[in-house]
Structures are given as C-alpha cells and as structure tokens.
Amino acid sequence: MTYQLHYWPNIQGRGEFIRLALEAAGAPYVDVARGDEAAGQGMGAMARYLEDESVARPPFACPFLVDGKRVIGQTPAILLYLAPRLGLVGASEDQRLWTHQIQLTIADFIVEVHDIHHPLGVTLYYEDQKPEALRRAAEFRKHRLSKFLAWFEAIITRNPGNKAGRAPHLVGAKLSYADLSLFQVVEGLTYAIPKAAGKALKKTPGVVAVHEGVARHKRVAAYLASERRLPFNKEGIFRHYPELDG
Amino acid sequence: MTYQLHYWPNIQGRGEFIRLALEAAGAPYVDVARGDEAAGQGMGAMARYLEDESVARPPFACPFLVDGKRVIGQTPAILLYLAPRLGLVGASEDQRLWTHQIQLTIADFIVEVHDIHHPLGVTLYYEDQKPEALRRAAEFRKHRLSKFLAWFEAIITRNPGNKAGRAPHLVGAKLSYADLSLFQVVEGLTYAIPKAAGKALKKTPGVVAVHEGVARHKRVAAYLASERRLPFNKEGIFRHYPELDG
C-alpha cells in the first residue's frame, strides 16, 4: 500500500518529520500536494480532505497521512501510527511511549522555534511583528534553546543502548523516528540561527552525534541529495532572518 | 496501584487534563506536589524526577505520571497511556488514534490560548509583554478562537455515535478523555475571555453540549465541587485579564 502524505508542496515544515520517516524506511509514498492535478493530486486533493464535509474525521491542518480509509492528522500521531509499520520504533509499550514522549517534546520545541519569527501568531506577516520577534528571539536564544538541547543531551547520555564508538540514538540501540526528528531540528536550527545554534551545540556533543549518525544513514543521505528534499526558505518553521540570530 | 501525578500544586494548568481523567474514572491517585514533604511528597518529590541524574527517562517538564517504575511526561502521552487503563477511550487502534489526534489538537489550541498573555515567551512576566499581548489576543479572538471551535463542532456533528436527545461526545457513543479535555478548554476560555468565548460558543452548540454533558458526569461533578479542584487564577494557561477580552 502506498502511503499518501498531504502537506504544503513548497516547504519542509512539519511535513518533513513524516517525509524523513518514510524515506529512512524506504516506504512507498506519494507527496500528494506536489503531484499533478491532472492525476488527482496537487493542492486540490489536499484541500478536499480539509474542507469536504463527507470526511468523517477531518484533520485540523496538514500534514496528514492517508492510508487506505484512514486519515490521520497531527505529526506526532502520524509518527505514532507509522513507526511500528516502518520499523522505526521499539516493540515494547515502554519504548513506544518514551519515543512518543520525546517526539512531543520536539513538537513543543519547534513551536517555540517557529514563534521567534511569529510571536504574535500566524495571522500576521513577519514584517508586521519584527520588533516583537527580536525580543522573543533574544529570550529564546538566552533561555530556551540551551534548555531543550540540554534535555536531549541528557537523555542521549542516559540511554543504556548507546555504546562508545557507535553513533548514539535517543532510544535503545537502533534508529527511531525521534532520531530523525532531532536530526531535522539540528538541521533547521543550524540554518535559521547558525551563530546561536553553533554555540549551543558545542555543549551537546551527543545531539551532534545523533545528527551525524542520521546524516550518514544510506537512505536518508540519498533523500537529502535528491530533489525530493526541499530547500529551507522563508516560509517554514525554520527561517533565516540574520537579525534574530543575535 | 495508586498513580502519582506530579504537577504544580497551585494551578490547574496542563495537570488538570490528567486530574480530570483520573477523577472521572474514579482512579486512585496522589497529587504529589500538593502533598506533605514529611510524607515524601511536596515539590521536592517532583523536583527529584526532573533533576536527579539517576532518572533514566526524565520528563522535560511537569505534568508527569509515575506508575510503578514508569515515569511518563507530556500531557497527551500520559492520557494515551492512562485512557485504556481507565476506560476513557475506545478499544480499536482507529478510535485510540483519533482520540489522540483530537487531544493533540487541543494541545495546540491551549498553546495559542496561553500565548495570548505570553506572546514573547514564558521567560518574561505578563506585565513585561502587555502591548504585545494585546495584539496577539486580538488576532486570536479574530481568527483562531472560532477556527478551533468550528473544528470541534464539525467533528462532533460528524460523529455517528451521537444521537439526538443524548449528550454528544467527540468520539463514539461514550465518554473519552478528549471530552474531558474539551470540557476543560471551555471552562478555561469562559473564565479567561468570557465575552469573546461566549460569543464564539453561541455558534458551536455541539461543543457547549459536550461541556454540559461532562459537567453533569457524577464523578466529575463531585470533583468540581471538591477542594481538589483548584480555582482558576493568574498563574495557569487560562488567565483573566479583562483587557485581553476585547
């Protein structure tokens, strides 16, 4: 069965956490909104799920996944559903719950990363909230960035599955979707606020090592080098406005 | 087994979504940080889980649940874990995932509700971000409040488990933790921004009916009338600053 991923066609955004999981597992999927309208894909296909009153369980927003009759919204819920099917999470309830807990903390983190350029909300442009963004970004760089990274570092350090000389993971001794998501967060921070991120990451070698391990993953590396990987830009979660980098 | 809930002792906050689930199910639990330090409870007991390096899987923040050796953070993950044990979710994977998806959307909503008084982040006081809060609150009231409530209304309307003359639910024909959480959101909005919430809720009779149904639930009603239910105040997610109500 080919999975259908529905997400904005021009940004990495939240959809990228799903794309990375599908790509790392080599799973068959269609990135629907990037497809051809003539083939029943494109933005119209995505909009139907969000707007058509015949959809019994409509997502609030994209990304969402369609798997046969199932329509699943919310990035962490999509990953919770996909991961056992893609081999990207451990088998026990404890491992699944812990991996999900990490993913939810990543979700909280990226809300804060996003809000450094949108402190007054998504209904206004960045240019309409620039002084507020400067203040929020300063607070984020000073207090929040290192707090989140230190937590990821702590759980990597305490993961008994990690052995010296091998690329570490967040959970157990195998790649999970949480590793892929942390990789994406490091990518995004390094793009958006390179100075602040570089400085903070010097104190979290475990986080850097997880990022490096994921980057070397064969299928992930092939994906990153492909045209399927969209470049960062000024539309997604991670945006490079030099003035927000301190 | 008595569940241990760890959360700030003086606010409803995110902990209230867990308290409501435990109370509605009549589950045995201790609200640890509200307990006696001499009995090994109180804030010190909570802080140990967050700070002690011997905790293999530390939560990033409270609330967290301790169930035997399990330590589980993140409100939606705690509810995902508790709900099957408390009879507050359907049995199928589809029902569990859909209920969780709703809960994650409620989590997104309350971040936005919180940020109307903290647009520049949690590291500054409200008084230090009042002009920004006025702008963010106006955007929220104008665009976001009705958008979220309309989604809840749509899924209540489309839930085939709901029958005329009976209190509706978000999922299926029985009470789930998502109903309890939506109840709490309506309580909170009505406290924090009574004018805007009252106006918006007039357009979502299904949401109002879910709220009323939960309020009449015997154990929930007993809890709300008890001293265990903390009052709203100016510390939690939902704060009543009249100037933010338009």
DSSP A3: E
Instruction: Check CB contact of A80 with chain B, cutoff 8 Å.
Output: yes
Sign of the Cα pseudo-torsion (A73, A77, A80, A81, in order): negative
Q: Do A77 and B100 touch (CB under 8 A)?
A: yes
- For B218, the 3-state DSSP assignment is helix
Distance (Å, whole) CA A46 – CA B104: 20
A 101-120 residues with CB < 8 A to B: 101, 104-105, 108, 111-112, 115, 119-120
**Closest residue to A132, CB basis, from B72, B73, B132:** B132
Instruction: Check CB contact of B138 with chain A, cutoff 8 Å.
Output: no
Q: Using an 8 Å Cβ cutoff, are B81 and B72 in contact?
A: yes
CA distance B210 to chain A (A): 17
Interface test mutation site (partner B, options A74, A89, A142, max chain B beta carbons within 10 A): A74
Q: Do B151 and A56 touch (CB under 8 A)?
A: no
Instruction: Check CB contact of A50 with chain B, cutoff 8 Å.
Output: no
- How many C-alpha atoms does B146 have within 13 Å on its Cβ side? 11
Q: Using an 8 Å Cβ cutoff, are A3 and A27 in contact?
A: yes
pLDDT tens digit sequence for B38-80: 999 999 999 999 999 999 999 999 999 999 999 999 999 999 9
Which residue is closest to B161 within chain A, CA to CA? A56
Contacts of B148 in chain A (CB under 8 A): 60
Taking each helix axis from N to C end, the angle separating B145-158 and B93-115, rounded to the nearest 10 degrees, works out to 160
> At residue B1, does pLDDT exceed 90?
no
Q: Which residues contact A136 (CB under 8 A, 6 or more apart)?
A: A115, A116, A119, B119, B120, B121
Q: CA dist B73 to A103, B82, B122, Å?
A: 11, 12, 19
pLDDT tens digit sequence for A16-68: 999 999 999 999 999 999 999 999 999 999 999 999 999 999 999 999 999 99
pLDDT tens digit sequence for B80-126: 999 999 999 999 999 999 999 999 999 999 999 999 999 999 889 99
Name residues of chain A where pLDDT drops below 50.
Answer: none
Instruction: Check CB contact of A100 with chain B, cutoff 8 Å.
Output: yes
Distance (Å, whole) CA B170 – CA B183: 11
Specify the pTM.
0.98
DSSP B225: T
Among residues A225, A226, A211, A223, which one has the least CA distance to residue A175? A211
Instruction: Check CB contact of B142 with chain A, cutoff 8 Å.
Output: yes
What are the residue boundaries of the structural domains of chain B, listed by start? 3-86, 93-245
Distance (Å, whole) CA B86 – CA B175: 11
Instruction: Check CB contact of A91 with chain B, cutoff 8 Å.
Output: no
Which residue is closest to A61 within chain B, CA to CA? B105
DSSP B79: H
pLDDT of residue A1: 80
B3 forms bridges with which residues in the sheet? B29
Q: What is the dihedral of CA B102, A17, B18, B197, to 10 degrees?
A: -50
CA distance B233 to chain A (A): 23
Instruction: Check CB contact of A215 with chain B, cutoff 8 Å.
Output: no
* CATH architecture of structural domain A3-86: 3-Layer(aba) Sandwich (3.40)
ipTM above 0.90, yes or no: yes
B142 alpha carbon, distance to own chain's centre:
23
Residue B142: band (very low, low, confident or very high) from pLDDT cuts 50, 70, 90:
very high
| Domain A93-245 in this protein, CATH class | mainly alpha
